[in-house]
Amino acid sequence: MSDDILRRLSDCVELGKANATSPFPPQLKGLPGADELCQQALAAGVPPGDILEKALVVGMRRIGEKFGCGEAFVPEMLLSARAMTAAMAHLRPFFASGQVKRRGVFVIGTVQGDLHDIGKNIVAMVVEGAGWEVVDLGTDVKPERLLSAVAAHPGCAVGLSALLTTTMVNMEAIVREIRERHPGTQILVGGAPVTAEFCRKIGASHYSPDPHGAVRYLDSVAGA
């Protein structure tokens, strides 16, 4: 029974079925969504860690892979993230109590001068769905605010986003400051104008064109 609930929950996350009233996807209309299935799993005694690892992470990984290879797009990603968030609401008390451990802390924000947040939001939600605690600083994040967040979460990884060529240059200065004050911090960069070459030039740790690649990298360094 628990395996069936976890399978259905992972499908709901992948397909963006947040709850029973959600009209998407049409083939699941009227059926329980991620919200109800997570509650059912907990009531059936499924460990919260299994719900995270065997359902939410699996569903977000599948939609992330589809997004990375062009089989899913921003609307599908947002629906999946909404479904994941609906289930995660029931798991947060277990994270707070320490019963379920996060893989690490990920501080993310759009750099100073840039107000775009769709890409940043998707990455944040996918990373959270992969079992990380996400500290989302929002947009137009000034260097001092980012540095304060890094200092408040020792050992965290950092994600920097920019959509404009005029603002992506601000990444270089903040990467330098993070390196000076918190050596060894993993710094991921992304956004439409950002490239792997630019990542290397400014001394960041990793560039990924999609959120699933960011999760893969974070998981690899977390397990190092």
The per-residue pLDDT for range 94-124, each reduced to its tens digit, is: 888 888 888 899 999 999 999 999 889 989 9
Q: In terms of residue numbers, what domain contains 179?
A: 105-222
* Per-residue confidence (pLDDT) for residue 102, from 0 to 100: 86
Residues 190 and 157 in one domain: yes
Residues 8 and 89 in one domain: yes
- Going by pLDDT thresholds of 50, 70 and 90, the confidence category of residue 159 is very high
Residues 63 and 116 in one domain: no
Q: Give the pairing of strands 133-136 and 157-161.
A: unpaired
Among 33, 64, 97, the domain boundary falls at: 97
CA-to-CA distance for 206 and 196, rounded, in angstroms? 8
Residues 72 and 153 in one domain: no
Q: What is the CATH number of the domain that holds 70?
A: 1.10.1240.10
The token duo for 24 is 């998407």
Locate all alpha helices (DSSP H) within the chain, ordered by sequence: 2-15, 34-43, 48-51, 57-68, 74-97, 118-129, 143-152, 165-168, 170-181, 196-202, 211-222
Residues 56 and 117 in one domain: no
- Going by pLDDT thresholds of 50, 70 and 90, the confidence category of residue 125 is confident
Residues 89 and 135 in one domain: no
The token duo for 10 is 């992972």
Work out how many domains the chain is built from and give that number: 2
Residues 192 and 217 in one domain: yes
Q: What is the CATH number of the domain that holds 207?
A: 3.40.50.280
Among 66, 97, 128, the domain boundary falls at: 97
The per-residue pLDDT for range 54-96, each reduced to its tens digit, is: 999 999 989 988 988 889 988 998 899 899 999 999 998 988 8
The per-residue pLDDT for range 202-223, each reduced to its tens digit, is: 999 999 988 888 999 999 998 6
DSSP 184: T
Q: Which residues are bridge partners to 106 per DSSP?
A: 134, 157
Q: Tell me which residue has tokens 């924000």.
A: 109
